[in-house]
């Protein structure tokens, strides 16, 4: 039977160098200069750490400090281009700061979302980053009441008092709709989902404000989203009935279903109907013609989320004023919305 190799500890390193455990700990944790430990001794400690392949005992560290260096990340569907883009950006920033991320998708299942939240609690994550799923408002309120650091993004709930980073949804769809109007489109539809999520409510409000300002008809399709197949069936009926000359899709997955619907109905982008998507993603550039899209600033969203969360973690136990950040979007104009 092979002999199990003993795990190297800070005590072993201290004993071998004939120095205190505290000194080794300060060096390993990057506090050598702060604690006036000489460069030569710091170098000896780090060389021995590398030679012995010392790995910190994360469980012991978390028990001692009360910190796990783990952040919980919860969204509806991490495979969606917007969420996966945010996740990649946040992971890069977190890694550079020594944090690990637990990524999870709720799949719009409230029970699953509550279970995932409990798993995060059981793992004693240091903080939570969430695109707040519907039905989880009360759970998140309880979490916030325990002083757990929570930062929301993409959406917020007015009566959930916490930090959040969103984009200016209302003005984004207002400007996109106005762009279509200025390009001589008169019968502009808006396809969204049947939800009370604030970001979707704001996007609809922006569209409605624009068409009402120009005395054009409000033509809205709210889909009770279950899956792509049912979404397409609803859109087939809608587009057959309404005979639009332009449409704004309220999210990237709705736009994808819309493009599949056009293929089934033989509708050609721009020639038959102008198209604008909320959220920009790679596929849109390869459509013929490429599709105009409202691009969310993924990097800026991730940077703001992490900046707020790290500030809360550093000031744990101290009162920190909630931060609400609203970022502008960019309308990437392409051939799908060119002048009529």
Which tens digits make up the pLDDT trace of 270-314? 999 999 999 998 899 999 999 999 999 999 999 999 999 999 888
DSSP H or E run through 66 = none
Strands 274-278 and 246-249 turn out to be: parallel
Q: How many CB atoms lie within 10 A of CB 276?
A: 28
187/257 same-domain check: yes
190/279 same-domain check: yes
179/272 same-domain check: yes
Question: Crossing angle for the helix pair 10-17 and 21-28, nearest 10 degrees?
Answer: 120
What average pLDDT does this structure show over 226-248? 95
Query: What pLDDT score does 3 carry?
Result: 42
The rounded distance, in Å, linking the Cα atoms of 315 and 118 is 24
What average pLDDT does this structure show over 225-238? 93
The rounded distance, in Å, linking the Cα atoms of 141 and 98 is 28
The rounded distance, in Å, linking the Cα atoms of 14 and 22 is 9
What average pLDDT does this structure show over 179-200? 95
Query: What pLDDT score does 56 carry?
Result: 63
194/243 same-domain check: yes
Q: Looking at 128-142, 202-216, 275-289, which range is the least confident one?
A: 128-142
Query: What pLDDT score does 1 carry?
Result: 39
The rounded distance, in Å, linking the Cα atoms of 334 and 289 is 8
- Extract the tokens encoding 33: 């200069």
What's the pLDDT tens digit per position in 145-173?
888 899 999 988 887 888 999 999 999 99
What's the pLDDT tens digit per position in 46-105?
888 778 777 665 544 544 545 678 999 999 888 888 999 999 999 999 988 888 999 999
pLDDT > 70 fraction of the chain, expressed in percent and rounded: 92
256/185 same-domain check: yes
- Extract the tokens encoding 125: 């994550």
317/258 same-domain check: no
111/212 same-domain check: no
Query: What pLDDT score does 63 carry?
Result: 43
Task: Give the side-chain half-sphere CA count within 13 A for 340.
Answer: 16
Query: What pLDDT score does 129 carry?
Result: 95
Query: What pLDDT score does 226 carry?
Result: 83
User: The domain that contains 184 carries what CATH number?
Assistant: 3.40.50.2300
Global pTM value: 0.78
Residue span of the structural domain in which 280 resides: 169-296+331-337
The domain total for the chain is 3
Q: How many CB atoms lie within 10 A of CB 219?
A: 17
pLDDT > 90 fraction of the chain, expressed in percent and rounded: 54
Beta strands in the chain (DSSP E): 70-75, 100-105, 127-130, 150-153, 163-167, 188-193, 219-223, 246-249, 274-278, 292-295, 324-327, 330-332
What average pLDDT does this structure show over 230-238? 96
The rounded distance, in Å, linking the Cα atoms of 277 and 152 is 23
Average pLDDT, the chain: 88
149/178 same-domain check: no
């Amino acid at each position: 039977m092979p002999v199990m190799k003993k795990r190297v500890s800070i005590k072993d390193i201290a004993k071998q160098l004939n120095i205190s455990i505290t000194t080794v700990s300060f060096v390993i944790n990057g506090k050598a200069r702060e604690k006036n430990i000489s460069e030569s001794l710091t170098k000896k400690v780090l060389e021995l750490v590398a030679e012995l392949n010392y790995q910190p005992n994360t469980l012991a560290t978390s028990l001692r400090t009360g910190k796990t260096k783990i952040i919980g990340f919860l969204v509806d569907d991490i495979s969606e281009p917007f969420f996966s883009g945010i996740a990649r950006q946040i992971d890069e920033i977190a890694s550079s700061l020594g944090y690990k991320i637990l990524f999870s998708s709720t799949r719009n299942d409230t029970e699953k979302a509550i279970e995932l939240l409990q798993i995060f609690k059981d793992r004693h994550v240091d903080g939570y980053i969430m695109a707040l799923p519907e039905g989880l408002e009360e759970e998140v309120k309880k979490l916030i009441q325990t002083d757990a650091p929570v930062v929301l993004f993409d959406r917020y709930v007015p009566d959930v008092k916490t930090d959040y980073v969103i984009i200016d949804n209302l003005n984004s769809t207002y400007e996109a709709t106005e762009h279509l109007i200025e390009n001589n489109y008169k019968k502009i539809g808006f396809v969204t989902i049947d939800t009370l999520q604030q970001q979707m409510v704001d996007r609809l409000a922006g569209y409605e404000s624009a068409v009402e300002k120009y005395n054009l008809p409000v033509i809205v399709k709210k889909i009770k989203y279950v899956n792509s197949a049912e979404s397409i069936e609803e859109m087939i009926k809608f587009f057959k009935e309404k005979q639009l000359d332009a449409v704004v899709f309220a999210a990237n997955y709705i736009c994808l279903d819309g493009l599949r619907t056009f293929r089934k109905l033989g509708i050609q982008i721009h020639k038959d109907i102008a198209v604008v998507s909320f959220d920009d993603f790679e596929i849109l550039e390869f459509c013929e013609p490429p599709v105009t899209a409202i691009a969310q600033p993924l990097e800026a969203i991730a940077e703001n989320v992490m900046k707020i969360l790290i500030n809360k973690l550093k000031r744990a136990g101290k009162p920190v004023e909630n931060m609400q950040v609203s970022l502008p979007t960019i309308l990437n104009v392409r051939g799908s919305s060119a002048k009529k």
